[in-house]
Structure 1
Amino acid sequence: MTSQSISRALLRHHGDVDAEPGLVDYAVNVRLPRPPGWLRDRLAAALDRIGSYPSLADHAAAVRAVADRHGVAPDRVLLLNGSAEGFALLSQLRPRLAALVHPSFTEPDVALTDAGVPVHRVQLSPDDGYRLHPADVPENADLVVVGNPTNPTSVLHPAVDLLALGRPGRVVVVDEAFIDAVPRERESLAGSDADGLLVFRSLTKMWALPGLRAGYVLGAPDLLARLAAHRPQWPVGTLALEAFRACSEPHAVAEAEHAAAEFATNRVTLIAALNELPGVHVNEPASAPFLLLTVKDGLHVRTALRERGIAVRRCDTFPGLDADHIRIAVRPPEQTEPLLTALREVLA
């Protein structure tokens, strides 16, 4: 079924808008305030190369690093100027009907609608925790987009359900921007060679690189060629190419796995604390580095938190959610205490 109408401006609202300077930020889901030291050193060393155009050798090395990280052939990797570029490229596949699973990240909705692609919103229900039911996707949809884990619901859909979306002539896009925050990247389809599957990945959240714009898509070479057919020359810069290489190395993958385990522990602690607050409902089970909350008089709660110096993500910009929904980032207990204290005051 389709959801309520939401303006393009609201669909284009993201957490960085809520996290104004001077506020304690629980709205944005970037793990660190800045890239880790070893990554900053790698990027700083690459600065001497930005006086030249990105080389084919650097690009090929970055592609190989990503391919090796996921155990796929290099021709199954397309590097992107951020995952958002990949969503903008989806219209190159000339879909007749795009089914977008909501509530979810809204950039695919905007990009496809702007390109004139008919869009059907598959609205998941809060009654069963926003779980995906493959049968709810229209059979005539030849493009399906779903997040895993999904932003903002924090739901991790079983890989078997995502693979069940496949049909002859259909492309299934799985946005795994947050899957590296899931221990063992459980339910990831990054190494799958299923027909018609495109898996989007991002370096932004785990490695604190939103300003660099670095993402990639994994899929069959013919699909990637169709996506890339009309891209400009040098679509990915030298610093991003270095980031792809650095963040694909074994020590980086190990660090991400350690961080994912910390997220899981901190999420359990945060949920327990939130469940003690009156009038707060946490959508569970949750698997991402953020939580979707339902609170009464959500606009008042957000405003009151802001007055106390706390930024949370408004969620009435997601199809299917309203002003009583807010999203908060999972942080270590010592960092979440200011949020919990402010919530106790506001809810009291």
Structure 2
Amino acid sequence: MSGFDWQACYGALFQHLDSEGLESWSCLLKQQLTKRFDTNPHGDIQRWQQAWQQLPEFANVSADLTSSAVALSSPDCSDANQRQTEAALRGLMPWRKGPFDFFGVAIDTEWRSDWKWDRVSPYLSDLSGRQVLDVGCGSGYHCWRMLGAGAQRVVGIDPGLLFLFQFLSVKRYLSTAPIDLLPVRMEDLPPKLECFDTTFSMGVLYHRRSPLDHLLELKDTLRRGGELVLETLVVDGPEGYSLMPEDRYGQMRNVWFLPSCDTLLRWLDRAGYRNARVVDVTDTTTDEQRSTDWMRFQSLADFLDPEDPDKTIEGYPGPKRATVIAEKP
């Protein structure tokens, strides 16, 4: 057993699911979390939990969920508290999605995830009062921004347990916030949930062997009239064109299909969405994804052709990301 008290961590979510008539999901989730934390825990979970538990307690915590960095502050923070905070958070490295600011400790993450949010957010339906799902949410940076944009409740899913403890480092100080990160995969969700008003899938589609199945799974999470926000790698090309890498793409092993924008829209149409439209296409640069003091491993600059940075090290077109918004009929 890991010793992690997941029942206390997710108690409010279980109550919410039960009150919404989603008792079957609540029951399934308890079984999945029992297996994840008690039956077969990750080998590093005690180390991550120890780092998380070393975060100091503060009174009078306030949060800014609307600026570039998800930021926590307290007038009670001393220099000693700040040093303790930084030591604990460094125990949860590498930090890939952000940025965050914990009581003056600025975490410069590998990705400037705020840039992606700034590209996407102008095209969203108003999130006020909406139930939101974020698939492949990483450390939950975008989940916090969704809550800051007015969402009534946010659920993120990502199987990475390090991401969970990074998320819980914020939740530790905002314990009553209606937001949770579940360490599960898309295929672990019950079929035909149909309980979310907005579902995000950003940076996931190209990791799926069957992109159409992923689009159908996402549609099953939405209520009628719900909104899908999809962001994925794309390539230039006509309708019907899709790049399937021979092995790796930008040193990533599990990349399957990079469609053209027109092909992506056709996929959404065939999956039964309506009003699908591309709202942004942006090249990913080494300013947006790079190594930092909080993520010291290789990053995008190491995955591009040193002679031609417009190509990956394998010779494929460099990373370009498109955001598409569509509705469930």
Higher relative contact order (CA 8 A, sep 6+): 1
Compute the TM-score of the two structures, normalised by the length of structure 2.
0.35
More helix by share: 1
More strand by share: 2
